[in-house]
Amino acid sequence: MTDIIQTDVVIVGAGPVGLFAVFELGLLDVKAHVIDILPRAGGQCSELYPEKPIYDIPGFPVISGQGLVDNLMKQIEPFKPGFHFGEMTTGLEVLGDAVHPRFRVTTDCDKAFECKAVLVAAGGGSFQPKKPPIPGIDAYEGKSVHYSVRRMEDFRGADVMIVGGGDSALDWTLNLQPLARRLTLVHRRDEFRAAPHSVNAMRALVAAGAMDLVIGQVTAVAGADGAMTSATVKKADGALVDVACTRMMPFFGLTMKLGPIADWGLALAENLVPVDTEKFETATPGVFAVGDINHYPGKLKLILSGFHEAALAAQRVHRYVYPDKKLTFQYTTSSTSLQRKLGVA
Amino acid sequence: MVTINFRAADGTLRTVEAEPGSTVMEAAIQSKVPGITAECGGACACATCHVYVDADWFERLPKAEPMEEDMLDFASDLRKTSRLSCQIKVAPELDGLTVETPARQG
């Protein structure tokens, strides 16, 4: 475990609402660190619909998912939040008394934070790799089945099978092909949505006999004690072929799973975190929830509602973090003090 | 209104009324049909509204756009009649359309 990071607030989730919370907290001089399992900011906006237009952000007749995220990142720049991408927030521990606790937040990358309040802006939960529908695949996960590459050397000399037809599948095909004893790419159709140059490079390797491409779906795997030996692929014509495979990497995109939040004692109801509509505080004092993850009577899962929730929650977070400081309500249009914080005065 | 039938993997049949112009996914979500997740809300970005269209209906549907084919790569347990229900527009000629929901989405 590295040094513990001390901060006012840890924000769980770097989607649009988590990002805007940085802004609202920043205006009130509350410092924040933001943790997200994805390798970049934006949450669903960046991951699910970066190029799709959004029509109901106030003041923007139309803006793309990525456009909104880019704007938010620019807007919160003056507050220099700490970003921790590619990490899943795993633990939330209450420190001190139950009435006004502090918190220790930990991630799956062995990072630890000590903070005065926690703002959960986790949307639909964490994005995790989708598992392929192969019976018994769980038994091989971690040993023979990998959803990401931690050490490329682990693939040296292995019979590698990559399943999928997107950029991740093609990139890893090209990266691991030189290391593998034999590499087989399996995809359900002979069309790929990956970058054309990667597809061309893959086809050249196939033509040169340096790797195999099988069009079909993996239906079964064989092996023992987590060590895979082969996989059965059902080809488009129904024929079954067995392919030697000691390391398999399926790339079926990401799916949202609630994840560790379920264990944080937040009195979840139908996988959502109940909050009040004044403070957006959860069942645990000092833990707040905003955006798609929370629930209250009349809740609408809209980005604009999340922004409103972040503004109100920030007021209460400030009072929780700095109980002795007086808070004066100010407008960014007229307050020199706010404008100084934004670096425009 | 147009009638759409959803058959679950266990054979349970649910019949819902859908408005022309909406999508089969929207009809399922509005009537809380189990087996349709629709994580992305209809942006053709997640493949969690995957259905198997009954063979006789499959031929009568407009063909999937390349975007839908790309997203189908991410669906589980694909069959020849696999479609994403967010990309099937409800129209009067689809009255009686029957789709099967897969055992799992994502």
pLDDT in tens, B48-66: 999 999 999 999 999 999 9
Last residue of some domain: A234, A252, A270? A252
Task: Identify whether the C-beta of residue B78 lies closer than 8 Å to the C-beta of residue A188.
Answer: yes
CB contact B76 to A (< 8 Å):
yes
Give residue-wise pLDDT tens across range A62-101: 999 999 999 999 999 999 999 999 999 999 999 999 899 9
* Structural domains in chain A (count): 2
Instruction: Give the tokens for residue A4.
Output: 């513990």
B64 vs A: CB within 8 A: no
Q: Quote the longest CA-to-CA distance of chain B.
A: 32
Q: Do A49 and A185 belong together in one domain?
A: no
Residues A167 and A186 in one domain: yes
The verdict on a CB contact (< 8 Å) between A253 and B47 is yes
> Of the candidates A286, A302, A233, which has an alpha carbon nearest to the alpha carbon of residue A92?
A286
What is the arithmetic mean of pLDDT over A283-299? Answer: 97
Verify whether the Cβ–Cβ distance A52 to B106 is below 8 Å.
Answer: no
Residues A214 and A262 in one domain: no
Q: Complex ipTM above 0.85?
A: no
Residues A99 and A153 reside in one and the same domain: no
* Mean of pLDDT values over A268-278: 95
- pLDDT at position A2: 66
Last residue of a domain, one of A229, A252, A275: A252
The DSSP H or E segment spanning A20 is helix A16-27
Q: What is the CATH number of the domain that holds A307?
A: 3.50.50.60
Least confident of A105-109, A294-298, A308-312, B72-76: B72-76
Domains assigned to chain B: 2-100 (3.10.20.30)
How far is the C-alpha of A287 from the C-alpha of A122, rounded, in Å? Answer: 13
Q: What is the pLDDT of residue A1?
A: 55
List the single residue in A48, A133, A193 with the smallest CB-CB distance to B73. Answer: A193
Cα distance between residue A113 and residue A10, in whole Å:
8
Residue of chain A nearest B76, judged by CA positions: A133
Comparing CB atoms, the residue among B43, B69, B104 nearest residue A48 is B43
Mean residue pLDDT across chain A: 95
Each residue of A170-227: pLDDT tens digit?
999 999 999 999 999 999 999 999 999 999 999 999 999 999 999 999 999 999 999 9
Residue A145 sits in which domain range?
A: 131-252
Give the residue from A201, A231, A252 where a domain finishes.
A252
Answer yes or no: do B46 and A253 touch at CB < 8 A. Answer: yes
Q: pLDDT band for position A135 (50/70/90)?
A: confident
DSSP string, A270-325: TTBEE--TTT-B-SSTTEEE-GGGEE-TT----HHHHHHHHHHHHHHHHHHH-TTS
Choose from A55, A188, A190, A302 for mutation: most chain B CBs within 10 A: A188
Question: Which residue does chain B place closest to A164, by CA atoms?
Answer: B73
